[in-house]
Amino acid sequence: MFFCVFDYHGELLRLIGRKNICINFIRENSFQLINYKVICAMRLRIKLSPKAIISVSVLIGAVMLISSYIELNQSKKEIFQLLYEHSSTLLESVIQSSKNTLNSSFEIENLITERLLDNARLVRKLDSLNSLNRDELIKLGKENNLYRINIFNSKGDRVLTNRIPEPGHIHGEENINRYEELAPILNNEVDELIIGLKTAEFSNEERFAVAIARANNKGAIVVNLDAKDFLEFRKKIGIGVILQQMSNHHGIEYIILQDTIGVLAASEKIDTVESISGSDFLQTSLTTDSVFSRIAIYNGHEVFEVTKSFLLDGEFVGLYRLGVSLEDIKNVEARMLRRLIIISLILAAISIIVLSIIFTTQNLKTISDEYDKFKTLTSSVLENMSEAVIVLDKESNVTLFNKSAERLFGINSEDILDHKISLIENGVLNFLEVTESIETTPNFEKEIILNGGQKYLSFSISTLDDPDTKQIKITVVIKDLTETKRLEEEAKRNEKLSAMGELASGVAHEIRNPINAIGMIAQRLNKEFSPTSNQTEYSDITQLLRTEVNRINKIITQFLSYAKPIDVNKKPVELKTFFEQIYHLYEDQAKQKGIRFILQSNDSLVIKIDADLIKQSLMNIIQNAFDVVNIKGEVIVQYYKSKNDLIVQISDNGIGISPEQQKKIFDLYFTTKKEGNGLGLSISQKIISQHNGSISVSSKINLGTTFKIILPIL
């Protein structure tokens, strides 16, 4: 958990954790309270004397007064329940927005850090080759938009920099020592150091810096960039901006984020607040993740307050307190009371007519409001569904395009709403254009090319009548089945290979014995019998017979080798050394063929695998890549950690593999090489499967192929 505390003007009060998170006061849309008016009415159907009319009027007034008083209390309960629900929803939105903003800030900072580390590693590589000088560093800084590149020796003295000398600058070029700051690297405690945001020594500007060790422990390399744009960008997307926009609405008295120590962030209206330790109500709010409410006193008047704990990644950040003004509710109550008194004094006949109209009108208004709320809820559900939802009118114009559809098709809803569906991905969904046939095929699956990749999608189509426009609209619900299909195909492939292996084992054992007998007979015929004529032809035939028997024996041996269960002996393996060994095995071959062979990532990961088997599997794939690329081609081996998995990608820019061949590429004895035996990829797939991993291939004709291997890190 990482956050910092600011005062009302944005000044830093205290820092908790390792990262900066701005938490400011928010205000939300005011609540529109529903004014319930329930009035009882009755009609007089007989003619009454003035005295009777007065008596009946008084009686009706009394009945109306009592019933209205009871209804007033009930309405207050309903209003407060509605106020609680709206306040809870607002508070949940605030908390979710805070989480999303904080996570976005973390992700941006991580990307900047990785970029700087990549540049620092490049500088280290050039430094190890002794090919660096000031001009080269200046060039690197300009090309990569880096503010400063400094190289220090093992004593912490700066020995090289891309800084251009400035005559008369307060900070000269000599005697620059950063030993204390770089001590973890210079003392060989770490190889890389994230310095992060820091204030420039001789200005108020901010820098973002990282450091890595030089080759052979000769010192350290520090790379930083000007953090001005980064900080400005974070302000634009930060919590402060969101909360400031929400704070302009009527009806919110205050929003406070506080912990057990004090206030983390609050509205500018707040002078003093009740401490958590001094309130049983606030302490109770900390114990669960539920929303609590109460009537509190603020600045001498009552407010409706809701509270909820704010957790980030399971860790407690603080307690959100939202105070909503009760002024509107009190005004509603006052109006209702005045109407109650007036209505109670109205003559029965007039009251019946007027109250009946009011009652009917209010019912219609309530129904209309409930219907509007239902429509809003329905739209919210559609927007946040995990499946993509597209609504079309009769002219095939898009009238609804939810967030899942935006993610799936890579297009913003603003760019497609009220436009033809044919504009999506150059007409990839033209088959959904409204016709008579689309209404007769409500459910189907289809494979399409989307964003440069192959997607397998499920379509569910239904029609609905829009009550507002009185028009029929088409609703299309799209579910991405690509990953599901891939897993199904992988399971089928494993089952097929297992069955083929068992078949191979059985057939091989049954064939080997008679084949050996034939070979022995051929050998005896060649040694013990000598024909009187055509001796050369006889010798050639027996020799051919023995050769073919040996070839069949070789095939049987391959069958048995594939069918035999693999004995996996997992041991901890240091991946950097492991991949460097594989790289050196192909380095000479790459030079001979004029191929660029690249190994990416120097992550020092340790994983438990059978090194020999995994090496065999990778070498099969790498050798295939070498066989298909031309001179000046490129083969890249990349490995990295993703969550709890090791990802290995082997890519080439060769001739590619057709979609038909991709479906059979892991089948036993399938090969496109003249001299291939069709076992390499099958064995590789079996080895990876024995490690509880998976292998997949993506390829385009004349563009290249990428094999992706996923192995669990145990």
Is residue 699 domain-shared with residue 576, that is, in the same domain? yes
Would you say residue 376 lies in a domain? no
Is residue 148 domain-shared with residue 242, that is, in the same domain? no
pLDDT > 70: percent of the chain: 77
Which range of 349-353, 375-379, 565-569 scores highest in mean pLDDT? It is 565-569
C-alpha 304/C-alpha 325 separation (Å) is 6
Higher pLDDT, 113 or 432: 113
Q: By CB neighbour count within 10 A (0-12 exposed, 13-18 middle, 19+ buried), where does 710 fall?
A: middle
Would you say residue 529 lies in a domain? yes
Amino acid at 473: K
- Sequence-distant (≥ 6) Cβ neighbours of residue 349 within 8 angstroms: 44, 53
What CATH number is attached to the domain comprising 687? Answer: 3.30.565.10
Would you say residue 373 lies in a domain? no
pLDDT at 598: 94
Would you say residue 612 lies in a domain? yes
- Which DSSP category does 30 fall into? P
- Sequence-distant (≥ 6) Cβ neighbours of residue 115 within 8 angstroms: none
Is residue 36 domain-shared with residue 158, that is, in the same domain? no
Higher pLDDT, 626 or 565: 626
C-alpha 137/C-alpha 374 separation (Å) is 63
What CATH number is attached to the domain comprising 421? Answer: 3.30.450.20
pLDDT exceeds cutoff 90 at 211: yes
pLDDT exceeds cutoff 80 at 242: no
pLDDT exceeds cutoff 80 at 70: yes
C-alpha 578/C-alpha 601 separation (Å) is 12
C-alpha 600/C-alpha 711 separation (Å) is 18
Is residue 419 domain-shared with residue 475, that is, in the same domain? yes
Helix (H, G, I), strand (E, B) or coil at 576: helix
Is residue 99 domain-shared with residue 137, that is, in the same domain? no
pLDDT exceeds cutoff 60 at 21: no
pLDDT at 506: 67
Domain count, the chain: 5
pLDDT at 574: 92
Q: Mean of the pLDDT values across residues 507-517?
A: 71
Is residue 512 domain-shared with residue 544, that is, in the same domain? yes
pLDDT > 90: percent of the chain: 15
Tally of residues, the chain: 714
pLDDT exceeds cutoff 90 at 503: no
* 403-409-415 Cα angle (round to 5): 70
- Which DSSP category does 10 fall into? S
Q: Mean of the pLDDT values across residues 616-642?
A: 91
Instruction: Judge whether 304 and 91 are in contact, CB under 8 Å.
Output: no
pLDDT at 430: 75
Domain that holds residue 581: 571-712
C-alpha 63/C-alpha 57 separation (Å) is 10
Instruction: Judge whether 213 and 185 are in contact, CB under 8 Å.
Output: yes
Q: Specify whether the backbone of 680 is left (phi greater than 0), alpha (psi in -120 to 50) or beta.
A: alpha
- Chain mean position to CA 404: 12
pLDDT at 629: 92
- Of 445-459, 546-560, 636-650, 675-689, where does mean pLDDT reach its minimum? 546-560
pLDDT exceeds cutoff 50 at 108: yes
pLDDT exceeds cutoff 90 at 599: yes
pLDDT exceeds cutoff 70 at 22: no
pLDDT at 220: 92
Q: Mean of the pLDDT values across residues 460-484?
A: 81
653: enclosing H helix or E strand: none
Q: Specify whether the backbone of 420 is left (phi greater than 0), alpha (psi in -120 to 50) or beta.
A: beta
Instruction: Judge whether 428 and 413 are in contact, CB under 8 Å.
Output: no
Mean pLDDT of the chain: 78
Three-state SS sequence of 430-475: HHHCCCHHHHHCCEEEEEEEECCEEEEEEEEEEEEEECCCCEEEEE
Confidence tier at 167 by pLDDT (50, 70, 90)? low
- Sequence-distant (≥ 6) Cβ neighbours of residue 565 within 8 angstroms: none
C-alpha 333/C-alpha 339 separation (Å) is 10
pLDDT exceeds cutoff 70 at 8: no
Instruction: Judge whether 713 and 607 are in contact, CB under 8 Å.
Output: yes
- Chain mean position to CA 510: 54
C-alpha 683/C-alpha 561 separation (Å) is 10
* 284-286-287 Cα angle (round to 5): 70
* pLDDT tens digits, 380-428: 777 778 888 988 888 888 888 888 888 888 888 888 888 888 888 777 7
Which range of 41-50, 105-114, 196-205, 548-557 scores highest in mean pLDDT? It is 105-114
Q: Which of 521, 539, 563 is the last residue of a domain?
A: 563
Q: Specify whether the backbone of 83 is left (phi greater than 0), alpha (psi in -120 to 50) or beta.
A: alpha
Classify strands 634-642 and 596-600 as parallel, antiparallel or unpaired: parallel
Is residue 34 domain-shared with residue 70, that is, in the same domain? yes
pLDDT at 56: 65
What the block records as the tokens of 231 is 């900080």
Confidence tier at 35 by pLDDT (50, 70, 90)? very low
pLDDT exceeds cutoff 70 at 436: no
Q: Which of 480, 497, 512 is the last residue of a domain?
A: 480
Would you say residue 587 lies in a domain? yes
- How large is the C-alpha radius of gyration of the chain? 38
Q: Specify whether the backbone of 472 is left (phi greater than 0), alpha (psi in -120 to 50) or beta.
A: beta
pLDDT exceeds cutoff 70 at 357: yes
Instruction: Judge whether 400 and 380 are in contact, CB under 8 Å.
Output: no
Alpha carbon distances (Å) from 317 to 138, 213, 279, 591: 43, 35, 18, 57
Which range of 30-39, 213-222, 559-568 scores highest in mean pLDDT? It is 213-222
Would you say residue 539 lies in a domain? yes
* Beta-carbon count within 10 A of 304 CB: 20
Which range of 44-48, 262-266, 356-360, 683-687 scores highest in mean pLDDT? It is 683-687
pLDDT at 104: 82
306: enclosing H helix or E strand: strand 301-312
pLDDT at 247: 66
Would you say residue 374 lies in a domain? no
Q: Mean of the pLDDT values across residues 37-65?
A: 54
Q: Which of 435, 464, 480 is the last residue of a domain?
A: 480
- Sequence-distant (≥ 6) Cβ neighbours of residue 584 within 8 angstroms: none
Is residue 252 domain-shared with residue 339, that is, in the same domain? yes
Is residue 94 domain-shared with residue 239, that is, in the same domain? yes
Instruction: Judge whether 186 and 221 are in contact, CB under 8 Å.
Output: no
Confidence tier at 10 by pLDDT (50, 70, 90)? very low
Q: Mean of the pLDDT values across residues 138-162?
A: 88
C-alpha 15/C-alpha 287 separation (Å) is 24
pLDDT at 505: 64
Is residue 134 domain-shared with residue 278, that is, in the same domain? no
pLDDT exceeds cutoff 50 at 432: yes
Higher pLDDT, 465 or 215: 215
Is residue 251 domain-shared with residue 362, that is, in the same domain? yes
Confidence tier at 12 by pLDDT (50, 70, 90)? very low
Q: Whole-prediction pTM value?
A: 0.38
Q: Mean of the pLDDT values across residues 46-63?
A: 62
Confidence tier at 346 by pLDDT (50, 70, 90)? confident
- Of 178-192, 288-302, 454-468, 617-631, where does mean pLDDT reach its minimum? 454-468
- Of 235-239, 309-313, 633-637, where does mean pLDDT reach its minimum? 235-239
Confidence tier at 344 by pLDDT (50, 70, 90)? low
- Of 12-26, 189-203, 660-674, 684-698, where does mean pLDDT reach its minimum? 12-26
pLDDT at 233: 74
Kindly tell me the sign of the dihedral angle through the C-alpha atoms of 383, 389, 394, 399.
positive
Confidence tier at 44 by pLDDT (50, 70, 90)? very low
Is residue 147 domain-shared with residue 218, that is, in the same domain? yes
Instruction: Judge whether 622 and 586 are in contact, CB under 8 Å.
Output: yes
Would you say residue 379 lies in a domain? no
Q: Mean of the pLDDT values across residues 431-455?
A: 72
